[in-house]
Amino acid sequence: MRKGVIYCKKAIVVGWFLLVLLLTMTGCKQSATHKFLNSGVNIQIQRFEEDLFSISVYDLRDSIDYLQEKYPEFFPLFTHKIIEIEDSDSEAVSLGLLSFVTDFTIYRVSRHVKEIFPSLEVYEMELSDAFVEFRNHFPDRSVPHIVSCISGFNQSIITADSLLVISLDKYLGTDDEFYLLLYPPVPYYLRYAMLPEKIPSDAMLAWIITEFPYKGINDNLLSQMIYNGRAKYCVHRLIPDIPDSLFWGFNTRQMDFCKVHEKRMWEYLIENKKLFVTDGFILNQFINDAPFTKDFSQDSPGRAAVWIGYRIIDSYMKNNRNVSLNDLMRETDYQKILNLSKYNP
């Protein structure tokens, strides 16, 4: 009898624990939702790829009006810019869409995407958090309408006016079979960052660049370093908990290289008079994605100069506490930022 009473008491304790846990979880969820609603931000991603591939090929022609009505901003962007249907008449559009959805590889990718992304709720929550912060820092800036799609391995993130598009087939994972089956295969330095977890930071970076386009008196390497580094800094402020390797798309060796050789890289740029170079080819070597930065070392990552730009911005903000994030993003005198940063790695 006593043993039974003990079990009964345990059951009561466990019951109360579960009740408290349930109430806590419910309260947290309501609190998060309340935060989004109070800020006017509640990101919901429209899944164009699900709508498109759920339509029977026999009904596709008659469904164009439906797709245009449901996606008034995105549908023309998708047909004319992403899958490049040149003609605008309905017959050309229907034939172009039919060719796209019946392509064997694209059809397999659509099924694969559905397996990897059965729901986008986790990304909606992360982007809602990020855009709440965005709205707090930039109350006069707009929050985009977000759509997901399959682009045929073209663009990762596309922006246009008040629209932000996430191409899910560009976030299947580093070792996904489709990236290796493409011809030519996607190189590893790009695949390394093609992770589902990169969606929120990539989306925010694209929107920051859209809202704050490059403006500068001189389009030189220094300006590009600071401009791009500033955009990355802004994203890090909006998504502060993201690990560095994920945020930058650098592997551990590359991340360590930047931290250990920061001073030497900066000295190299100064000594070799690279900071004020305006040649587009040279700028691309330092700013664009690449397996490594040629002038630094094969152990360095591509875009290592952008990482230095980020470090300059970090120093600028630490040494100018009165400057808000909004002030920072509006400043277009990149030489002034460098001077006031007191950057000295």
| Per-residue model confidence as pLDDT tens for the chain (345 residues) | 333 333 333 333 333 333 333 334 444 444 444 444 445 789 999 999 999 999 999 999 999 999 999 999 999 999 999 999 988 888 899 999 999 999 999 999 999 999 999 999 999 999 999 999 999 999 999 999 999 999 999 999 999 989 999 999 999 999 999 999 998 999 999 999 999 999 999 999 999 999 999 997 789 999 999 999 999 999 999 999 999 989 999 999 999 999 999 999 999 999 999 999 999 999 999 999 999 999 999 999 999 999 999 999 999 999 999 999 999 999 999 999 999 999 999
Distance of CA 295 to the CA centre of its chain: 27
Q: Which residues contact 163 (CB under 8 A, 6 or more apart)?
A: 73, 74, 77, 144, 145, 146, 147
Amino acid 298: pLDDT: 94
- What tokens appear for 196 in the block? 């589902």
Residue 47, SS3? strand
Which among 308, 318, 310 has a CA at the least distance from the CA of 340? 318
The Cα 51–Cα 172 span in angstroms is 20
Q: What angle do CA 31, 247, 235 make, to 5 degrees?
A: 60
Amino acid 90: pLDDT: 84
Amino acid 103: pLDDT: 96
Express the helix, strand and coil content of the chain in percent, nearest 5 each: 60, 5, 30
Facing residues of 160 across strands?
163
Amino acid 267: pLDDT: 98
- What tokens appear for 296 in the block? 């630094």
